[in-house]
Amino acid sequence: MSNPPLTSPLLDMPLLPPFDQLQPQQVEPAITALIDQCDRVLDTGLKNPGWDSTLAPLEQAQDQLNRAFSPVSHLNSVLSGPWREPYEAALAKVTGYWTELGQNRDLYGVYQQLAQSPEFAGWPQARRKAVELGLRDFVLSGVGLEGEARDKFAANSRRLAELSSQFANNVLDATNAWTWHTEDAAELAGLPQTALAAARAAAEAKGRDGWLITLDGPAYLAVMTHADNRALRRQVHTAFVSRASDTGPNGGEYDNSAVMEEILALRAEQAQLLGMANYAELSLASKMAHDNDKVLEFLNDLAARAKPAAEREFAELQNFARDELGLDELQPWDIAWAAEKLKQERYAISQEELRPYFPYDRVLAGLFTVVEKLFEVSVQRDESVPTWHPDVQYFWLSRNGERIAGFYLDPFAREKKRGGAWMDSVCVRRQTPDGLQLPVAYLVCNFSSPAADNMPSLLTHYEVTTLFHEFGHGLHHMLTQIDVAAVSGINGVAWDAVELPSQFLENWCWEPQAIALISGHYESGAPLPQALLDKMLAARNFQSAMFAVRQLEFALFDFRLHCREQGASAAKIQQLLDEVRAQVAVVPVAEENRFQHGFSHIFAGGYAAGYYSYKWAEVLSADAFSLFEEQGIFDADTGRKFLHAILEQGGSRDALELFTEFRGREPEIDALLRHSGIEQLELNINPG
């Protein structure tokens, strides 16, 4: 392949990627050149070991590589199509580079030498922590392995990256492969206007009349929650829960069975090569909870105490469905629909009734006001910044008139965009030879788009909390004051603490003072009526125990799956999931359900043997918020304290130490139980 042109924007990336100039064909030559540059910098640095002579120049070269790969990876997630092939080629190269670097004994020796030097104790905290975490990560990357074991570990690492990408591709392709079309409005009875408008727009985009139902999140949830057509609910449910599997309408076409089997086998082998019993043990080596038994005890104890409440909730739903809806037996495709009817009867409120009061633009402006009050930052849109899609907006964060960070916001669902919501890094805050590099983030959601008839995007309250959640991650990345890349922002933060800021910020979605800022009728601007607000707050913990055991089902399945000494066949994976469901689940499961085949968190994301982190961090976030409940939800001193102790510190200090500094004590579970409506449960398992 010829050398990349010197003008390739990926080779000398500015702070903000020039998305209007990026082309798929630029990717592979640029990534190759930047990896070669990293290798040359390392070779030079090893001749004169030291922080300033080795690690700082290497950080600079790796930052250039990361900032080139970031938009490529991102475009593959939000546009797919022409970016998939160049992304996968680049991923293979980047994975190979990091794998080889993790086993570089000469560089490992530099880290050891620095850690043992007399002056190390007097170094800035962030530098010391970066070296300590580096030493840990070298060991976890197989630096101590010899010969065949060393080669095997490296080959496995490269293959795991390929498989994770393949898993995600299969889920996306399976999601896009299925649609359901009708020109008979009667078949869509019960669907709210927002969902009908989206379905009509989806049909028009394909050049068809009528309505088109897809498996995108908003469309799927609308049908399952509101469609009175039971046969339609069953069809959509079956298609969704069987995605990327051996069954369902596209059974075998995008099947992740073999992908899962190989991922689990390789993970188990990686752990054993490092002398560990299983992959869960390897995963916990970099988390707050260092012990498999402690995690299982935490999850099992919570499940045992939550399940009786969940069973009561489900029995209520069954009785209601039988007596009021004429359903003698609740099927999986009836659950959300019946639950919505019960919620309406009990609280006279629905997410659809709230939607008109949560127009996207109003919610966004209110979110910015909340953050400004808490952390003394302001947010301004910059329309001059090029983006990858017309829906995407770019914003700067400023404090005292000075820009301190930025973020892209891609809010709406569309074809070929990965489902779900996430935050990712464009670049990290770090000190460069030319000055301070500001942190920049991607924030991605999948809300319903504005309708063609000028109706704005109207959010459910659940979607409002999703936006706050991702912005919490973004603040963790953007408000850091650390300037060493390895521990800046979310880098170096224990994975089971990384959800603390995101879950923490969700709390403001339930506070009347904050709701007044994020709501207002999309036509009149009228505030959310007090009666509706009261109903919304009263319904907050509706079926909360059922939701809790569902999350615990995912967490226990993930953790037990990775506690196995060996991998597992697709049949064994299903068997384990069935066992976990027998232990904690209360709702029926469709025969075609292959949830595991679409569980991207653990097979294509960073949550393998780590899904428990959501519950673990929920203890931290609820306890942290309880201080605001005591002092006032917009108390400036408490906001400043959270900013300084948690958001600004990144991974420069241990998560438990930072939490204790903020709260004045170690975490307690009482606040979580109170927020969940199950405060009478007394758990004796606490993170830390």
pLDDT for 30-49, tens place per residue?
999 999 999 999 999 999 99
Residue 140 lies in a domain: yes
What is the secondary structure of 114-177 as a DSSP string?
HHHSGGGGGS-HHHHHHHHHHHHHHHHTTTT--HHHHHHHHHHHHHHHHHHHHHHHHHHHHHHH
**C-beta atoms surrounding 183 within 10 Å:** 10
Confidence of residue 678 (pLDDT cuts 50, 70, 90): low
pLDDT value at residue 290: 87
CATH number of the structural domain spanning residue 159: 1.20.1050
- Structure token digits, residue 137: 């990560």
**H helices of 274-350, where?**
279-284, 292-325, 335-347
Quote the number of domains for the chain. Answer: 3
Q: Is residue 445 part of a domain?
A: yes
In contact, 82 and 24? CB cutoff 8 Å: yes
Which letter does DSSP use for residue 234 in this model?
Answer: H
CB burial string 88-103: b at 16+ within 10 A, e below: ebbbbbbbbbbbebbb
Mean pLDDT across 325-333: 97
Residue found by looking up tokens 């808490």 in the block:
374
CATH code, 395: 1.10.1370.40
Helices (H), 564-612: 570-584, 600-603
pLDDT bracket for residue 343 (50, 70, 90)? very high
Residues 96 and 206 in one domain: no
pLDDT in tens, 612-638: 999 999 999 999 999 999 999 999 999
Let me know whether 46 and 182 are in one domain: no
pLDDT value, residue 3: 54
Q: Is 585 within the bounds of a domain?
A: no
pLDDT at 686: 47
pLDDT at 1 over 50: no
Domain interval for residue 363:
355-538
- Whether 285 shows a pLDDT value over 90: the answer reads yes
Q: Is residue 622 in some structural domain?
A: no
Number of neighbours of residue 228 by Cβ within 10 angstroms = 14
Q: Which of 515, 538, 561 is the last residue of a domain?
A: 538
Give tens-digit pLDDT for 512-565.
Answer: 999 999 999 999 999 999 999 999 999 999 999 999 999 999 999 999 999 999
**Which residues are designated catalytic?**
470
Q: Is the pLDDT of residue 671 over 70?
A: yes
Which pLDDT band, with edges at 50, 70 and 90, does 652 fall under?
very high
279-305 in b/e form (b: 16+ CB < 10 A) is bbbbbbebbbbeebeebbebbeebbeb
Where a domain ends, among 241, 265, 282?
Answer: 241
Structure confidence by residue, pLDDT tens digits, 420-470: 999 999 999 999 999 999 999 999 999 999 976 778 999 999 999 999 999
128 and 213 inside one domain: no
Q: Indicate the residue type of 247.
A: T
397 in the same domain as 530: yes
Model confidence at 676, pLDDT cuts 50, 70, 90, reads confident
Q: Which of 228, 205, 203 is nearest to 213 (CA)?
A: 203
Give the global pTM: 0.95
Q: Which residue has the tokens 């020796």?
A: 109
CA angle 179, 606, 561 (to 5 degrees): 85
Is the domain of 94 the same as that of 212? no
At 212, which helix (H) or strand (E)?
strand 211-213
Please give the pLDDT value at position 5. 45
Residue 687 has pLDDT above 90, yes or no: no
Q: What is the pLDDT of residue 20?
A: 96
pLDDT of residue 651: 98
pLDDT digits (tens, 9 = 90+) for 225-257: 999 999 999 999 999 999 999 999 999 999 999
Q: Are residues 93 and 221 in the same domain?
A: no
| 396 within a domain of the structure (yes/no) | yes
Q: Does position 681 have pLDDT exceeding 70, yes or no?
A: no
Mean pLDDT of 648-653: 98
- Fill in the DSSP letter of residue 458: B
Residue 112 lies in a domain: yes
Q: Is residue 521 domain-resident?
A: yes
Domain end residue (candidates: 513, 538, 563)? 538
pLDDT higher than 50, residue 115: yes
- Which pLDDT belongs to residue 677? 74
Percent of the chain residues past pLDDT 70, beyond the cut: 97
User: What integer pLDDT is reported at residue 610 of this predicted model?
Assistant: 97
| Spatial separation of the C-alpha atoms in residues 90 and 100, rounded to whole Å | 15
Q: Is 682 a residue whose pLDDT tops 70? A: no
**Confidence label for 683 from pLDDT (cuts 50, 70 and 90):** very low
Write the secondary structure of 378-431 as one string of H (helix), E (strand) and C (coil): EEEECCCCCCCCCCCEEEEEEECCEEEEEEEEEEECCCCCCCCCEEEEEECCEE
Residue 183 shares a structural domain with residue 160: no
Same domain, 141 and 193: no
Q: Judge if 493 and 370 occupy the same domain.
A: yes
Question: Per the domain annotation, does 232 fall within a domain?
Answer: yes
pLDDT digits (tens, 9 = 90+) for 654-666: 999 999 999 999 9
Residues 6+ apart with CB under 8 A from 309: 545, 678
370 and 516 part of one domain:
yes
Q: Which residues 6+ apart lie within 8 Å of 623 measured at CB?
A: 659, 663, 667, 668, 669, 670, 671, 672
The pLDDT, as a whole number, for residue 50 is 97
Same domain, 164 and 185: no
b/e code 51-86 from CB counts within 10 Å (16+ = b)? beebbbbbbbbbbbbbbbbbbbbbbbbbbbeebbeb
| Count of CB atoms situated within 10 Å of the CB of 216 | 20
What is the DSSP secondary structure assignment for residue 256, as one 8-state letter? -
Average pLDDT over every residue of 147-161: 98
The gap from C-alpha 632 to its chain's centroid, in whole angstroms, comes to 29
Average pLDDT, the chain: 95
Which one-letter amino acid corresponds to residue 184?
Answer: D
All residues at 6 or more sequence positions from 544 whose CB lies less than 8 Å from its CB, including other chains = 676, 677, 678
- Tell me how far CA of residue 645 lies from CA of 369, 378, 514, in angstroms: 22, 20, 23
Other Cβ atoms within 10 Å of 433 Cβ, number: 7
Strands 402-412 and 393-399: antiparallel
Give the residue, 351 or 162, on which the prediction is more confident.
162
- 205/127 same-domain check: no
* Confidence grade of residue 680 (pLDDT, cut at 50, 70, 90): very low
The model's confidence at residue 679, banded by pLDDT at 50, 70 and 90, is low
